[in-house]
Amino acid sequence: MLVMNTLSVTTNPLQVTFIGTLIAIAFLISIVGVLGWMLRLPKETERTRTATQAIRSVNRMTRILVPVLAKSEATDRIVALAAQMIRQRNGHVDLLAVIEVPFTLPINAHVEADEKQALELLERGEAVAAHCGTRNGNRISRRILKARNAGAAIVREAEEQAVDLILIARTSVRARGNVQQANPAIDYVMKNAPCEVLVLSPAHNIGTQEMERVATTVPE
């Protein structure tokens, strides 16, 4: 019997050439270079480090105390600023109205006119905050305090509530007759506050539209 063995020959379609190897190596190097450029962290400089620290410091301000001392556009704007600040960082705003009770009356005396005015100020502040998109009741709280000195009451409230920032609008009070002077409560807060204080002070430039400047103080 004659047995014939057939040998099947297969050919490899993949042929390795010198030029193909060079192209593959160049392609691999380019991919590694692009990935390295994408993942490379920028070199930190003194300027970027300072900016990062400032941003982190501001982002930590999640509990803000806003004393509402008077009905004014500046007070509305400071409430709006506080509402916008907490909206992005799940913070909380405390609206505070202080009734100064004279020493001739007991501290818990019923002063109907002042209480009504304080309540109107708080309701106005809540309306401004709600208009800014802060409608969650857990983010806005309001309180009326009776005290002999408004500045001391604000500082004490900031300490007890462990607030991160006090936002306050500069207002005036009537001293004698029609003479207006800066509210002394604001100066007291700026000098004694346990946290940073941001004061919104409206400018009074004749012949120009009312502008505003912002002054920041950090307690020593």
For residue 169, give the CATH number of its domain: 3.40.50.620
pLDDT band at 54 (very low <50, low <70, confident <90, very high): low
pLDDT value of residue 211: 40
Its domain, for residue 169, covers: 60-217
pLDDT value of residue 22: 78
Q: Cβ neighbours of residue 132 under 8 Å, at least 6 residues apart?
A: 80, 83, 84, 87
pLDDT in tens, 79-138: 999 988 888 778 899 999 999 998 888 888 888 889 999 999 999 999 998 887 665 555
User: Is residue 107, in this structure, part of any structural domain at all?
Assistant: yes
Query: Per-residue pLDDT for 173 more than 90?
Result: no
| Residue 18 Cα distances to 15, 23, 31, 39, 133, angstroms | 10, 9, 20, 32, 66
pLDDT value of residue 214: 44
pLDDT value of residue 5: 52
Residue in 132, 200, 213 with CA at minimum distance from that of residue 168: 200
User: Is residue 2, in this structure, part of any structural domain at all?
Assistant: no
User: Is residue 13, in this structure, part of any structural domain at all?
Assistant: no
pLDDT value of residue 8: 53
Q: Which residue has better confidence, 2 or 63? A: 63
User: Is residue 157, in this structure, part of any structural domain at all?
Assistant: yes
State how far the Cα of 157 lies from the Cα of 200, in Å rounded to an integer.
Answer: 20
Q: pTM of the predicted model, to two decimals?
A: 0.67
pLDDT in tens, 175-203: 555 666 778 899 999 999 999 999 988 76
State how far the Cα of 148 lies from the Cα of 106, in Å rounded to an integer.
Answer: 10
Mean pLDDT of the chain: 78
What's the burial of 15, exposed, middle or buried (CB within 10 Å: 0-12/13-18/19+)?
A: exposed
pLDDT in tens, 137-159: 558 899 999 999 999 999 999 99
pLDDT value of residue 150: 93
User: Is residue 94, in this structure, part of any structural domain at all?
Assistant: yes
State how far the Cα of 144 lies from the Cα of 12, in Å rounded to an integer.
Answer: 89
Q: How many domains does the chain have?
A: 1
pLDDT value of residue 96: 95
Q: Which residue has better confidence, 185 or 17? A: 185
User: Is residue 50, in this structure, part of any structural domain at all?
Assistant: no
Q: Cβ neighbours of residue 193 under 8 Å, at least 6 residues apart?
A: 154, 155, 158, 166, 217, 219
pLDDT in tens, 55-82: 666 667 789 999 999 888 889 999 999 9
